[in-house]
């Protein structure tokens, strides 16, 4: 039988989610605290011993000017994907919430590989239908294709512990010799990490004091590559909501910030969530310093320090043809020798077909208008010619100039 999480059971719920192989930070209450314009509810199912065996957290948001809501179980449910009884109970609980909040749909995008055909059959058995097709080019809320690096067998003698505030990580080229993660990278990628160190790039862990710089670089990257970015206030709220589970990494050259990333640690994974780099000038080409390669290596070190199983590079396009404008992003992340993973995609359980039809057919138009407004509004701030105006993919950027066009990953995290 399902039950709803309350203040008394919240800690137990969080511990279950964090400790489960399918657990995800977007299923945590911490992440929900960032999304304060959404309501949050969570459902759990217990086994015969009284312990939680499955959970599903949903974010609930009102449709503008309409008496309906969207229920979104981002990267849920968290359970054995083949446990039909638990799945049925979780969805039964979701149906109760749908009536309470007048939801027109329950949308899921589980952290489950598309190769798991049995799980897809379970979703369809419960009444879900695929909502985004193959989702090759970020048609859904979350990316359907990601690169993941298995770091479970990587061990290092040296631990790159967090430095004192304002201090840079103590790293040298010698530290990369034989290091577990870097030895897994492609040879050219190892060279780029080492070049960044040799050329004097320093990595620091920063707080809100550097957020204006990070936000400015996000804006520059968004204008450069044609996607909508978040304001500094959103990233500050993320640091507050996630606490020690979030890190802002900043790359400096001669004491000037040139690139930055936001990473999330939760359970057995670290995710590369946002990334950006400064435009540079003709006299000062940021890309030649390779800061984003060094930033990736340092975030992977965090995953190793925490004993994680997976480092997640997040989204890439599923269209791997070289003439795809998103191919440069794929090339960059592929250079670290991770595995390309395709998830099952978005699945909708529809409660009101007319409303669902109207929303689905209005989303694409809304996203295009939103992107065009953003680019037009901020065009005066752009100091470089935009490379691509086709995607909304969050600032992860390829550093080396290539013949291929470049752009970035993922529609916004909800």
Q: Tens digit of pLDDT for each residue in 3-53?
A: 999 999 999 999 999 999 999 999 999 999 999 899 999 999 999 999 999
Q: Name which of 26, 246, 245, 272 is nearest 148 in CA terms.
A: 272
The pLDDT tens digits for 366-376 are 566 655 665 66
Residue 373's pLDDT is: 67
Residue percentage of the chain with pLDDT more than 90: 73
Strands 202-206 and 246-253, how do they pair?
Answer: antiparallel
Question: Where residue 377 falls among pLDDT bands split at 50, 70, 90?
Answer: low
So where are the chain's domains?
Answer: 2-127, 147-342
Q: Is 63 a residue whose pLDDT tops 60? A: yes
Fold of 2-127: Aminopeptidase (3.40.630)
Question: Where residue 259 falls among pLDDT bands split at 50, 70, 90?
Answer: very high
**How many whole angstroms separate alpha carbon 277 and alpha carbon 335?**
18
List the beta bridge partners of residue 41: 58
Residue 391's pLDDT is: 33
- Give the chain's radius of gyration (CA, Å): 21
Q: pTM of the prediction? A: 0.87
Residue 227's pLDDT is: 74
What single DSSP character describes residue 351?
S
Let me know if the fold of 2-127 is the same as that of 147-342: yes
**How many whole angstroms separate alpha carbon 71 and alpha carbon 348?**
10
Sign of CA dihedral 19, 21, 26, 27: negative
List the beta bridge partners of residue 113: 343
Average pLDDT over every residue of 282-296? 89
Q: What is the mean pLDDT of the chain?
A: 88
CB atoms closer than 10 angstroms to residue 382:
15
Q: Is 383 a residue whose pLDDT tops 70? A: no
List the beta bridge partners of residue 108: 73, 347
What's the token pair of residue 104?
């027109």
What's the token pair of residue 246?
């979030």
Question: Where residue 410 falls among pLDDT bands split at 50, 70, 90?
Answer: very low
Got the DSSP string for 5-65? --TTTHHHHHHHHHHSTT--GGGSHHHHHH-TTSEEEEEEEE-TTS-EEEEEEEEEEEPTT
Q: What are phi and psi of 174, to 5 degrees?
A: -60, -30
Question: Which CATH number does 147-342 carry?
Answer: 3.40.630.30
The pLDDT tens digits for 210-248 are 999 999 999 888 888 777 788 999 999 999 999 999 999
- Give the H/E segment covering residue 277: strand 269-277
The pLDDT tens digits for 191-203 are 999 999 999 999 9
The pLDDT tens digits for 108-166 are 999 999 999 999 999 999 999 999 887 787 888 999 999 999 999 898 778 788 888 78
CA 71 to each of CA 58, 234, 262: distance values in angstroms, whole numbers, following the listed order: 6, 22, 27
Please name the residues in contact with 286: beta carbons below 8 A apart, sequence gap of 6 or more: 253, 258, 259, 277, 278, 279, 280
Q: Is 107 a residue whose pLDDT tops 90? A: yes
**How many whole angstroms separate alpha carbon 246 and alpha carbon 207?**
10
**How many whole angstroms separate alpha carbon 39 and alpha carbon 5?**
13
The pLDDT tens digits for 345-368 are 999 999 999 999 999 887 766 566
CA 351 to each of CA 69, 95, 100, 241: distance values in angstroms, whole numbers, following the listed order: 11, 9, 12, 32
Using an 8 Å Cβ cutoff, are 353 and 154 in contact? Answer: no
């Amino acid at each position: 039988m399902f039950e709803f999480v309350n203040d008394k059971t919240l800690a137990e719920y969080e511990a279950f989610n964090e400790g489960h192989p399918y657990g995800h930070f977007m299923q945590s209450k911490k992440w929900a605290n960032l999304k304060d314009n959404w309501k949050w509810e969570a459902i759990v199912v217990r086994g015969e011993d009284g312990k939680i065996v499955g959970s599903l957290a949903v974010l609930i948001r009102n449709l503008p000017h309409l008496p309906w809501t969207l229920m979104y179980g981002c990267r849920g449910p968290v359970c054995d994907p083949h446990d039909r009884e638990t799945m049925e109970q979780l969805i039964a609980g979701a149906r109760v919430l749908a009536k309470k909040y007048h939801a027109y749909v329950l949308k899921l995008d589980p952290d489950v590989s598309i190769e798991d055909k049995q799980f897809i059959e379970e979703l369809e058995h419960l009444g879900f239908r695929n909502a985004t097709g193959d989702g090759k080019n970020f048609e859904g809320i979350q990316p359907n294709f990601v690169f993941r690096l298995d770091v479970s067998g990587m061990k290092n003698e040296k631990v790159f512990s967090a430095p004192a505030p304002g201090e840079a990580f103590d790293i040298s080229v010698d530290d990369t010799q034989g290091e577990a993660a870097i030895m897994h990278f492609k040879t050219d990628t190892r060279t780029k990490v080492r070049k960044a160190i040799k050329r004097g790039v320093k990595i620091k862990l920063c707080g809100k004091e550097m957020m204006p710089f990070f936000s400015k670089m996000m804006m520059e990257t968004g204008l450069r590559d044609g996607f909508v970015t978040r304001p500094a206030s959103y990233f500050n709220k993320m640091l507050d909501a996630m606490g020690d589970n979030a890190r802002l990494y900043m790359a400096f050259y001669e004491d000037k910030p040139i690139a930055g990333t936001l990473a999330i640690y939760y359970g057995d994974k670290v995710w590369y969530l946002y990334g950006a780099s400064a435009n540079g000038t003709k006299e000062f080409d940021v890309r030649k310093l390779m800061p984003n390669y060094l930033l990736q290596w340092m975030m992977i070190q965090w995953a190793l320090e925490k004993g994680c199983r997976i480092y997640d590079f997040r989204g890439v396009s599923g269209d791997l043809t070289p003439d795809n404008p998103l191919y440069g992003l794929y090339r960059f992340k592929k250079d670290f020798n991770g595995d390309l993973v395709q998830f099952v995609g978005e699945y909708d359980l529809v409660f009101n077909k007319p409303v669902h039809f109207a929303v689905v057919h209005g989303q694409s138009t809304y996203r295009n208008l939103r992107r065009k407004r953003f680019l037009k509004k901020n065009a005066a701030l752009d100091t470089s010619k935009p490379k691509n105006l086709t995607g909304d993919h969050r600032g992860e950027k390829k550093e080396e100039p290539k013949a291929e066009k470049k752009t970035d990953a993922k529609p916004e995290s909800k």
